[in-house]
């Protein structure tokens, strides 16, 4: 078979939402479908990389030719990512819950005359920031910034704070239909500047990212 640009390299991709349990039957979740993350895992595979996909709960099938690890919570996602190290490339696409319920109840919380319960929240680990500053940091670390406001300013801050080489900024305002939809309009933000991509199907955006990664790390462009 013909040589591919990421032959011999390994990649970790996170995808989907996380579910943070409240009690045995309830959880906190978000609208991520996993489509963009799964498409990026497939594009990196097609470019020749050995891919581990760490996926939160999604309805998508496991992509062929990819080691898929299924997790539910942010804490489990971080543990699965660390287990998959070392890797050359890491792309953090998952919409990780910022908070979990501080004290998960192991019994179903009942309605009482006292009214609704107060849910205390605790901060979840930031998986991208943890790996971006990790002793085994992959050579290339890419994150997303799903924002509704101040897209570029927030993406630039995220690059620095999370130790990422690139942030793919996308506008998730409800009118855009990105969250759960099939298309994405991305701006690739690095310390060198901002590259505005056209509106693309999530699969095409994934291929474009794989090409960008290959130009950075792959055959011919290897640093």
Active site amino acids: 30
Six token digits for residue 218: 């792959």
- Residue 114's CB is within 10 A of a number of other CB atoms, namely 6
CB of 207 to ligand C5P, least distance (A): 19
Q: Is there a binding annotation on residue 53? A: no
Q: Is there a binding annotation on residue 144? A: yes
Q: Is there a binding annotation on residue 125? A: yes
Q: Is there a binding annotation on residue 157? A: no
Q: Is 145 in the site for ligand C5P (CB under 6 A)?
A: yes
Question: Are the C-beta atoms of 92 and 142 separated by less than 8 Å?
Answer: yes
Given the complex with ligand C5P, which of 4 and 134 has the nearer CB atom? 134
User: Could you give the string, one character per residue 99-138, with x where binding to ligand C5P holds by CB under 6 A and - elsewhere?
Assistant: -------------------------x-xxx----------
- Report which DSSP code applies to 17: B
* Angstrom distance (rounded) from CA 47 to CA 64: 14
* Angstrom distance (rounded) from CA 129 to CA 127: 6
Residue 106, exposed/middle/buried by CB under 10 A (0-12, 13-18, 19+)?
Answer: exposed
3 state SS of 26: strand
Residue 47, exposed/middle/buried by CB under 10 A (0-12, 13-18, 19+)?
Answer: buried
The stretch among 93-101, 106-114, 193-201, 213-221 that binds ligand C5P (CB under 6 A) is: 93-101
CB of 7 to ligand C5P, least distance (A): 26
Residues 156-215 that bind ligand C5P (CB under 6 A): 158
CB of 147 to ligand C5P, least distance (A): 7
- The number of angstroms, rounded, from the C-alpha of 40 to the middle of its chain's C-alpha atoms is 10
Instruction: Please pick, from the candidates 39, 51, 54, 74, the single residue that binds ligand C5P as defined by CB under 6 A.
Output: 74
Cis peptide before 86 (omega within 30 of 0): yes
Q: Is there a binding annotation on residue 98? A: yes
Instruction: Please pick, from the candidates 34, 138, 143, 218, the single residue that binds ligand C5P as defined by CB under 6 A.
Output: 143
Q: Is 144 in the site for ligand C5P (CB under 6 A)?
A: yes
Q: Is 27 in the site for ligand C5P (CB under 6 A)?
A: no
Given the complex with ligand C5P, which of 66 and 92 has the nearer CB atom? 92
* Angstrom distance (rounded) from CA 124 to CA 174: 25
* Angstrom distance (rounded) from CA 32 to CA 189: 22
Question: Are the C-beta atoms of 144 and 155 separated by less than 8 Å?
Answer: no
- Which residues define the annotated binding site for CTP? 98, 108, 125-128, 144, 158, 162
Task: Using CB under 6 A, list all residues that contact ligand C5P.
Answer: 14, 74, 92-94, 96, 124, 126-128, 143-145, 158
- Which residues define the annotated binding site? 98, 108, 125-128, 144, 158, 162
């Amino acid at each position: 078979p013909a040589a591919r640009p990421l032959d011999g390299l390994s990649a970790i991709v996170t995808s989907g939402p996380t579910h943070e349990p409240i009690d045995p039957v309830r959880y906190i979740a978000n609208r991520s479908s996993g489509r963009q993350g799964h498409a990026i895992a497939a594009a990196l595979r097609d470019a020749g990389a050995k891919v581990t996909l760490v996926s939160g709960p999604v309805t998508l099938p496991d992509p062929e030719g990819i080691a898929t690890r299924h997790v539910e919570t942010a804490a489990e996602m971080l543990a699965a990512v660390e287990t998959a190290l070392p890797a050359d490339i890491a792309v953090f696409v998952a919409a990780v819950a910022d908070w979990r319920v501080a004290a998960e109840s192991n019994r179903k919380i009942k309605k009482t005359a006292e009214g609704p319960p107060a849910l205390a929240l605790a901060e979840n680990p930031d998986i991208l920031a943890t790996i971006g500053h990790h002793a085994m940091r992959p050579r290339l670390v890419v994150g997303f910034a799903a924002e509704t406001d101040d897209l570029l300013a927030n993406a630039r801050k995220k690059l620095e704070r999370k130790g990422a080489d690139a942030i793919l900024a996308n506008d998730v305002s409800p009118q855009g239909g990105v969250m759960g939809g099939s298309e994405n309009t991305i701006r690739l933000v690095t310390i060198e500047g901002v590259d505005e991509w056209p509106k693309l199907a999530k699969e095409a955006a994934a291929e474009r990212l794989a090409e960008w990664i290959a130009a950075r790390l792959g055959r011919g462009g290897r640093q």
